Chains A and B, each alone.
Chain A
Amino acid sequence: MRFLKKTYVFLIFAFLYAPILVLIVFSFNESKSRANWEGFTLKWYYELFKDRHIMSALYYTLLIAVLSSAIATLIGIIASIGIFHMKKVPQGVVLNLNYIPILNPDIVTGISLMVLFIFMKMNLGFVTMLLAHITFNIPYVILSILPKLKQMNKHLYEAALDLGATPAEAFRKVILPEIMPGVITGFLLAFTLSLDDFVISFFTTGSGVTNLSIVIFGMARRGISPKINALSTLMFVSVLILLIIVNIRMSKDNPERRARIERSKENSRYLPDIGHDI
């Protein structure tokens, strides 16, 4: 039984990892053709860095991820506080609207935004892609911050005001620290979603502004290219390093915080996956 279990676990992991490993191995293959090993080379990596599309896509991917998650976090913080203090009925309406981008299939979100931008006579490109990313990021930020507001002692803010703090001071010194973990979770979540997005970007960009996912899609549609393998290897390694760092940081932290991050990470993986990975 134990052996059976082990074999099963092994097979599932083999299924999950073998394709990635094959990609990685063949990124070092001299030959362009698929299954034959013809010697070790790094030339595909060299070509990868020479490719103007990939480099500009990398630049836009990072830029949009940083800007959209920062702006979404900012809007999200303010909106969360507002939503938290709303009356029940309007609050329900707003929260339901907030769920739309999460529940809606990506292709519908992407297309509806494309239609909107064209309707508003905007040029599809960097700005529209950024607006689209902010739009699908904010809901996740709000959903990460709201629970923190609920946990907070309601009277802290009033107490601060009574003690002579201005509303701005009270916000900065009382509310913000309390909701900070939610803010960070929301920011990171928005950042990863933006980095990984394909479908929505695909429909809302134009004029040569692309992100990595779009470039990969374009390349994959033109057949097999060892350059994509090289890119996969680099991305896999970065993700691996990132996860290890997060993990080491977590095991250094105190248990309470660790549990909290664990929980938020869990949520963070669950939330996007309904709509936003594909």
Chain B
Amino acid sequence: MREVRKTAAIFLTLVMIFSLAACGGGGGSQKSTTSITVFNWGDYIDESVLTDFEKEYGIKVNYDYFSTNEEMYVKLKSGGTDYDVLFPSDYMIARLIKEDMLHKIDMNNIPNFEHIDDKFKNLNYDPNNEYSVPYMWGTVGIAYNTTMVDEPVDSWDILWDPKYENNILMLDSQRDSIAVALKKLGYSLNSRNEAELEQAKQELIRQKPLVLSYVGDEVKDKMVGGEAALAVVFSGEVTAIRWENEDIDYVIPKEGSNLWFDAMVIPKTSQNKEAAEKFINFLTDPEIALRNAEYVGYSIPNTTAIAMLDEEVRNDEVAYPDLDSLDNCEVFEDVSDIIEIYNRIWDEVKAAQ
């Protein structure tokens, strides 16, 4: 019996030590300093930047990541969060503005905004540029492994070619995948026509047996490893993939595609707007933007930082295409009024045999 008591004593002591450590460590520091919570895409920042921000401003950064705009939206909308900075895409920003979920950003607190290329200001999703500061941008297209695909790739049709059964990676994201089917069929990727959407659904279900997997961030790793021949990707991934595998090529299919912009916004859940603005300004700093661009491979809208990039990167057609040459690409518009249709289509595609 004595031994039992001894064990109990040891445990209790351990518990005390841990709790004390807890108060001294996490709990305490959180009270004495401000902190912000950032909600970003996976693999979308050089994390040493966060540490630098913490050091410079004494603001602790809690960092969390999502893998689709929809996932981010649901998390924000359900409540129970206190995010300070989000990184949604164009159409999602439009939706958040429409639903009055964003704070206006005081641009006086973002002096680095001047480094942003004018082309990326006042875009349709935020016409007066009151709510968002651009972070990255790019296109959607097909990345393919030239050792596995011999024919020229120029159309979405190749993703329906039985030759590439189990060699195709699609995006696990409803807007993006439905857009691929819509474009293949020659429709607008902002279609609101139920018949067109239904057709797109049938196309995706027909394609499903050929698809190896619906992927998110792992597409990079899969393409680097030669695990699939073809993948629908965001252009920024291609740069990162090519760092490790030079056999990967990228094409924007002739039927047209999606041009997208990700920007930083401050949701109304933010408890600390001032700190959030500091963070946004920090990420817009050319040096920092450059570090992020060099780490994640995506294209930045920051003119000053672009000038500091390697010439090879700057002139890369995949990463920095001429915006005017992209006239067959559309930007997503908010379709939240018919979002049930999109949700249902995507559920049915993923549930299909």
Residues of A bordering B, CB below 8 Å: 32-34, 51-53, 59-60, 62-63, 66-67, 70, 114, 117-118, 121-126, 128, 177, 180-181, 183-184, 187, 206-210, 218, 221-224
**Cβ of A118: which chain B residues have Cβ within 8 Å of it?**
78-80
Contact B225 A33 (CB under 8 A): yes
CB-CB nearest in chain A for B15: A70
> Number of A-B pairs whose CB atoms are under 8 Å?
96
Contact count band on B? 35 or more
**Cβ of A209: which chain B residues have Cβ within 8 Å of it?**
62
Contact A224 B82 (CB under 8 A): no
Contact B64 A208 (CB under 8 A): yes
Q: How far is the CB of A213 from chain B (nearest CB, A)?
A: 15
A-B residue pairs in contact (CB < 8 Å), sample of 19: A52-B50, A52-B63, A63-B22, A66-B22, A70-B19, A118-B79, A125-B82, A126-B26, A128-B80, A180-B8, A207-B62, A207-B81, A207-B82, A208-B63, A210-B64, A218-B42, A221-B42, A222-B220, A222-B221
| Interface membership of B65, Cβ < 8 A | yes
Q: Mark B62-84, 1 if CB is under 8 A from A, else 0.
A: 11110100000001001111110
**Cβ of B295: which chain A residues have Cβ within 8 Å of it?**
none
Contact of B217 among A32, A181, A184, A222 (CB under 8 A): A222
Q: Mark B106-127, 1 if CB is under 8 A from A, else 0.
A: 0000000000000000000000
Q: Which of chain B's residues 1-47 have a Cβ closer than 8 Å to chain A?
A: 1, 4-5, 7-8, 11, 14-15, 18-19, 22, 25-26, 37-38, 42-43, 47
Contact A224-B221, Cβ < 8 Å, known A66-B15, A184-B11, A208-B63: yes
Contact A63-B26, Cβ < 8 Å, known A118-B78, A206-B64: yes
> What CA separation (Å) do A62 and B14 show in the bound complex?
12
Contact of B81 among A59, A60, A124 (CB under 8 A): A124
Contact B5 A177 (CB under 8 A): yes
CB-CB nearest in chain B for A253: B3
CB-CB nearest in chain B for A34: B225
| Interface membership of B310, Cβ < 8 A | no
- The 10 tightest CB contacts between A and B, nearest first, are A223-B221, A208-B62, A124-B80, A223-B218, A222-B217, A66-B18, A208-B64, A118-B80, A70-B15, A180-B4
Q: How far is the CB of A153 from chain B (nearest CB, A)?
A: 15
Contact A59 B62 (CB under 8 A): no
Contact A206 B15 (CB under 8 A): no
**Cβ of A180: which chain B residues have Cβ within 8 Å of it?**
1, 4-5, 8
Contact of A123 among B8, B26, B47, B81 (CB under 8 A): B81
Contact of B64 among A66, A128, A207 (CB under 8 A): A207
> What CA separation (Å) do A9 and B351 show in the bound complex?
39
Q: How far is the CB of B2 from chain A (nearest CB, A)?
A: 10
Contact A177 B4 (CB under 8 A): yes
Residues of B bordering A, CB below 8 Å: 1, 4-5, 7-8, 11, 14-15, 18-19, 22, 25-26, 37-38, 42-43, 47, 50-51, 62-65, 67, 75, 78-83, 216-218, 220-222, 224-225, 244
Contact B8 A184 (CB under 8 A): yes
> What CA separation (Å) do A48 and B1 show in the bound complex?
43
**Cβ of B79: which chain A residues have Cβ within 8 Å of it?**
118, 121
- Most chain-A Cβ atoms within 10 A of its Cβ — which of B19, B47, B221? B221
**Cβ of B80: which chain A residues have Cβ within 8 Å of it?**
114, 117-118, 121-124, 128, 206
15 further A-B contacts with Cβ under 8 Å, apart from A218-B42, A223-B220, are A59-B25, A63-B26, A66-B18, A118-B79, A121-B80, A125-B82, A128-B80, A180-B4, A184-B8, A187-B11, A206-B80, A206-B81, A207-B37, A223-B217, A223-B221
CB-CB nearest in chain A for B245: A33
> What CA separation (Å) do A222 and B64 show in the bound complex?
14
Contact A222-B218, Cβ < 8 Å, known A117-B80, A206-B75: yes
Contact A53 B225 (CB under 8 A): no
Contact A62 B64 (CB under 8 A): no
> What CA separation (Å) do A51 and B79 show in the bound complex?
29
Q: How far is the CB of B346 from chain A (nearest CB, A)?
A: 18
> What CA separation (Å) do A32 and B51 show in the bound complex?
25
**Cβ of B216: which chain A residues have Cβ within 8 Å of it?**
221-222
